[in-house]
Copies of this chain bind each other. A is one copy, B any other.
Amino acid sequence: MNKKRQLLIDTALALFYKNGINCIGINEILKVSGVAKKTLYSHFESKEALILAALAQRHSIFIAWLNKALRGSDSDKEVITALFSALERWFTNSEPLLGNFRGCFFINSSAEFSDKSSDIARCCKNHKQEVRKMIAHYLTKENTPLLDVICIMMEGAITTAHITGEHQVTTKCIDALNNFDC
């Protein structure tokens, strides 16, 4: 049944994001989800397949969340404010869809899997490209330098918030980007 499959993906995503992929074993996912091992391996060929499914799940959740956050912004300034306000809500655990903040799941996963030619690394790279496309879609003008800076500052804000724990990094980004002419 597909319900078990989805339950496995949801459980895996939650545990992977919270603890790191390498720190969570299959058995832990089975215990928490209450699913049997045989069922897992009937749905997924290996742990890596489950990881990829969890990454895909996180990707679609994040993209949908981002799209909703940016919807309605019809000036570059509004896009910037909407984006970084949404990030701040994420950082302060006010976005239930994204779970308790522990950095970007894709940055974290990239850190755990060094092989750049692996499916996992490819998946993380792809996620960042899609995020960039989504932001570009909402910017009014074809303004590549601004898009570049927004994306770089977004990565910086996520990383800074994760490591140092200072959430007010987002207001610094908004202030800086409003002073940015191009």
Contact = CB atoms under 8 A, between A and B. Distances in A.
A42 interface: no
Chain A: number of interface residues, binned into ranges = 35 or more
A22 B151 CA distance: 29
14 contacts: A18-B114, A20-B22, A20-B113, A22-B112, A102-B114, A107-B159, A107-B163, A108-B111, A110-B111, A129-B164, A148-B172, A148-B176, A152-B156, A156-B159
Interface string A3-31: 00000000000000011101100000000
Interface of A: 18-20, 22-23, 102-103, 106-114, 116, 124-125, 128-129, 145, 148-149, 151-160, 162-165, 169, 172-173, 175-176, 179-182
